[in-house]
Amino acid sequence: MKRFLFTLLIMNLCLTGNAQESNADSIQQTKKISRLNVGGYGEVNYTRNFFSDHVSRYSQPEEHKNDPSHGRFDIPHAVIYLGYDFGKGWSFGTEIEFEHGGTGIAYEKEDEEGGEWEQETEKGGEVELEQFWLQKSFARWANIRAGHIVVPVGLNNAHHEPLNFFTVYRPEGENTILPSTWHQTGVSFWGRYRDFRYEAQFLAGLNADNFTNVGWINKGTSSPLEFDVANKYGASLRIDNYSVSGLRIGLSGYYGHSIGNTYPNDANGTGATYKGKVAIGAIDFTYNDHNWIVRGQADYGYLGDAAELKYMYNRLNSKSPYKHSAFVSSNAYAYGLEAGYNIFSQIQSLHQKNQRLYLFSRFEAYNPYASDTKGVSYDYTDVKRFAVGINYHPIKQIVIKGEYSRRFLKSLYNDEPSVNIGVAYEGFFL
């Protein structure tokens, strides 16, 4: 009988010629491999932005039309995987992520607060325990996982490692409106049957006090406390199909309540009056064949009682870690398409060495404030972005990326061009 072993989040897209497997699927049938698995991935990036970084660049665009460019080095993610197969179907997985090379408390300029400096305290600071779970595998089609797990809603969350997208940074649209990487504590049932892979999850709810006009529910999983509040709950579902050779098509969704998922529990207050329903639907695909890689996704979300969030106690209290004074939209969307061709496939000597060079382009559009709340508009959240560049793979586990990108905003604002360069790896060391 084949032993189920932990090979957490390994990426099939760039390592094989087949369609991409779900990175949430962290158990595969394998032979002759150690029970202990250690791996990870990481990125180092450089960006030069040829537009203003002033806080009033949207409220007073004419005054910042000729502001100087600005650059930055960044380590967006450095991740360590650790897993162990106990035998008899029991396995363990964990993932520790260091974001932006730092830990602890960070100061950020909050554009939505008029450029005010705010101290941001996220759970664990800039070091996160992104996964921590125990799993019982009964068969290939039946696995139960409990603990802190990835929520595979949308293409970015299901396939978020740096070898799974062409751009230097994660695709901007989904990365703006949804938590990324979306991870919460809960229970999951998943499996693979014939040409289908499926996963259903029961989770702690999102926290509406963290929703914003520029990020919609992006920060909804964050908690400044030593625990995740679970007064309200949510559920997610994902189904992927692999019937066509080289093609994976996925459907995913989420539903849950978000208002009142705070501490202490005000059972007779706003949490009892309003629900803050969050409903998200997404479709995505990956095609990897004939030297082409094409990926696409579309996400649409609805938030109930959005107009009431601005007046919630925690958002008005100056001592609360949740202070957000802007309105939040009842709707948000993001869609994008990218395609790349491996030109080294036409150069026999390089192709035989398994070196690859993809020329790619990407277009996406997104808006975290897609519907005006009480007639208040934030037009600068309506973004279209185009990118063109290269991905060079000297070996399977490493990619060197370069791109030119441009955000196209509404005509009253300045467009935002940039040049991005990055190097990333993904692999297992043991």
pLDDT of residue 325: 80
Question: Residue 221's Cα: distance from chain center in Å?
Answer: 12
pLDDT of residue 29: 35
The pLDDT confidence band at residue 305, using thresholds 50, 70 and 90, is very high
How many residues are given for the chain? 430
Q: Which structural domain range is residue 308 located in?
A: 3-428
Is 50 exceeded by the pLDDT of residue 262? Answer: yes
pLDDT of residue 125: 44
pLDDT of residue 116: 67
Tens-digit pLDDT profile for residues 290-299: 999 999 999 9
pLDDT of residue 289: 97
pLDDT of residue 103: 63
CATH number reported for the structural domain that contains residue 266 in this entry? 2.40.160.10
- C-alpha 415/C-alpha 397 separation (Å) is 35
Is 80 exceeded by the pLDDT of residue 87? Answer: yes
Is 50 exceeded by the pLDDT of residue 30? Answer: no
pLDDT of residue 4: 33
- C-alpha 95/C-alpha 114 separation (Å) is 36
Beta bridge mates, 186: 147, 203
Map the chain to HEC letters: CCEEEECCCCCCCCCCCCCCCCCCCCEEEECCCCCEEEEEEEEEEEEEECCCCCCCCCCCHHHHCCCCCEEEEECCEEEEEEEEEEECCEEEEEEEEEECCCCCCEEEEEHHHCCEEEEECCCCCCEEEEEEEEEEEEECCEEEEEEEEECCCCHHHHCCCHHHCCCCCCCHHHHHHCCCCCEEEEEEEEEEECCEEEEEEEEECCCHHHCECCCECCCCCCCCCCCCCCCCEEEEEEEEECCCCCEEEEEEEEEEECCCCCCCCCCCCHHHHCCCEEEEEEEEEEEEECCEEEEEEEEEEEECCHHHHHHCHHHHCCCCCCCCCCCCCCEEEEEEEEEEEEHHHHCHHHHHCCCEEEEEEEEEEEECCCCCECCECCHHHCEEEEEEEEEEECCCCEEEEEEEEEEECCCCCCCEEEEEEEEEEEEECC
Do 141 and 192 contact (CB within 8 A), yes or no?
yes
Query: ∠ CA 206-11-359 to the nearest 5 degrees?
Result: 105
The pLDDT confidence band at residue 267, using thresholds 50, 70 and 90, is low
- C-alpha 386/C-alpha 135 separation (Å) is 41
- Contacts of range 384-388, beta carbons closer than 8 Å, 24 or more positions apart: 384/408, 384/409, 385/172, 385/173, 386/361, 386/362, 387/166, 387/167, 387/361, 387/362, 387/363, 388/360, 388/361, 388/362
Tens-digit pLDDT profile for residues 393-411: 999 999 999 999 999 999 8
pLDDT of residue 118: 67
pLDDT of residue 317: 77
Is 80 exceeded by the pLDDT of residue 75? Answer: yes
Encoded amino acid at 170, one letter: R
pLDDT of residue 101: 74
Tens-digit pLDDT profile for residues 357-395: 999 999 999 999 999 999 999 999 999 999 999 999 999
pTM flag (> 0.95)? no
Do 284 and 250 contact (CB within 8 A), yes or no?
yes
- The total domain count for the chain is 1
- Residue (of 77, 205, 90, 81) closest to 146 by Cα position: 90
pLDDT of residue 227: 85
Tens-digit pLDDT profile for residues 88-132: 999 999 999 998 876 656 556 666 556 666 666 554 447 888 999
Is 60 exceeded by the pLDDT of residue 77? Answer: yes
Place of tokens 């030069």: 48
- C-alpha 56/C-alpha 65 separation (Å) is 11
Q: What percent of the chain has a predicted confidence (pLDDT) above 70?
A: 86
- Least confident range from 115-129, 149-163, 274-288, 341-355: namely 115-129
Tens-digit pLDDT profile for residues 216-254: 999 999 888 888 889 999 999 999 999 999 999 999 999
Burial annotation 83-120 (CB, 10 A radius, 16+ → b, else e): bbbeeebebebbbbbbbeeeeeeeeeebbbeeeeeeee
* Token couple for 187: 């229970």
φ, ψ for residue 13, nearest 5 deg: -60, -50
Beta bridge mates, 296: 285, 337
Is 90 exceeded by the pLDDT of residue 163? Answer: yes
Tens-digit pLDDT profile for residues 280-293: 999 999 999 999 99
Is 50 exceeded by the pLDDT of residue 17? Answer: no
Tens-digit pLDDT profile for residues 60-69: 999 999 999 9
pLDDT of residue 314: 79
